[in-house]
C-alpha cells in the first residue's frame, strides 16, 4: 500500500480538503498566470474570471471523485456512478429542484430592477449574450456536481 493511499485511508477528511484546496487554487493560479493578477473582478471585463471561477468549482467535485477512487478503487467509483445515475423520485421533483433557485433569482432580480437598473441580470445587460449563457450553465452544473460528488455516502456501505 502506498503512503499516499495509507494516509488517505487514515485521514480521509484531511485528504479531501487538501485535494480540494490544491485543485481549486492551483487551477486559479494556472488560469490567472501566476502573480500578474486579474484586470477586473467581473467576467465582462476580464475573460479569465469565468475560467478561474470554473477552476474553483471543479475542486470539490474532482477531489471527491479522486478520493473515492483512491480509497475504494474501481468498486467505489462504480458505486458512486450507480448512485448518481439512479433516479429516486419522479422527474417532476427533479424539475422543481433544478428550477426553484433560478426562478427565485429571476423574480428577485426583476423586483429589484424596478427600483434600480443595477439589478438587471447580466444576460440582459451584456453585449455578448452567447458567452454569458454557457458560462452560467457551466457554473451551475459544476456547483451541482460538486454537491453530489463531494465525499462518499456512508449509507451505501455494507
Residue pLDDT, tens place only, 30-51: 888 765 666 666 666 777 777 8
Tell whether the model's pLDDT for residue 158 goes beyond 70: no
129, 122 contact by CB (below 8 A): no
**CA-atom Rg of the chain in angstroms:** 19
pLDDT, greater one: 126 or 81: 81
Q: How far lies 43's CA from each of 63, 110, 111, 122, in Å?
A: 26, 21, 24, 10
Q: What's the confidence (pLDDT) of residue 111? A: 87
* CA–CA separation, 79 and 69 (whole Å): 11
pLDDT score recorded for residue 31: 83
Which pLDDT score, from 0 to 100, does residue 127 have? 73
Q: Is the pLDDT of residue 25 over 70?
A: yes
Q: Name which residue leads in pLDDT, 157 or 16.
A: 16
Distances 79 to 41, 60, 70, 76, 143 between C-alpha atoms, Å: 40, 19, 14, 5, 21
Q: Is the pTM value of this prediction over 0.95?
A: no
Q: State how far the Cα of 66 lies from the Cα of 126, in Å rounded to an integer.
A: 37
Please report which confidence band the pLDDT of residue 17 belongs to, taking 50, 70 and 90 as the band edges: very high
What are 104-111's contacts with CB under 8 Å, separation 24+? Answer: none
Q: What is the mean pLDDT of residues 127-156?
A: 63
Strands (E), 13-80: none
Question: What CA–CA distances, in Å, run from 17 to 20, 25, 30?
Answer: 5, 12, 19
Taking only the tens place, the pLDDT of each residue in 81-117 is 898 888 788 888 888 887 888 788 888 888 888 888 8
Average pLDDT over residues 60-81: 91
What integer pLDDT is reported at residue 34 of this predicted model?
64
- The percent of residues in the chain predicted with pLDDT above 90, rounded, is 18
Mean per-residue pLDDT for 42-67? 82
Amino acid at each position: 500500500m502506498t503512503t499516499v493511499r495509507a494516509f488517505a485511508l487514515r485521514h480521509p477528511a484531511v485528504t479531501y480538503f487538501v485535494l480540494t484546496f490544491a485543485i481549486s487554487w492551483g487551477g486559479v493560479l494556472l488560469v490567472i498566470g501566476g502573480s500578474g493578477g486579474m484586470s477586473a473582478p467581473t467576467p465582462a471585463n476580464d475573460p479569465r474570471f469565468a475560467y478561474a471561477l470554473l477552476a474553483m468549482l471543479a475542486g470539490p467535485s474532482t477531489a471527491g471523485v479522486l478520493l473515492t477512487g483512491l480509497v475504494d478503487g474501481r468498486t467505489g467509483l462504480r458505486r458512486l456512478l450507480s448512485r448518481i445515475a439512479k433516479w429516486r423520485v419522479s422527474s417532476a421533483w427533479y424539475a422543481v429542484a433544478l428550477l426553484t433557485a433560478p426562478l427565485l433569482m429571476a423574480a428577485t432580480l426583476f423586483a429589484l430592477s424596478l427600483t434600480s437598473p443595477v439589478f438587471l441580470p447580466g444576460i440582459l445587460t451584456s453585449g455578448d449574450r452567447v458567452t454569458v449563457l454557457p458560462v452560467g450553465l457551466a457554473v451551475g452544473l459544476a456547483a451541482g456536481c460538486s454537491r453530489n460528488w463531494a465525499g462518499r455516502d456512508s449509507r451505501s456501505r455494507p
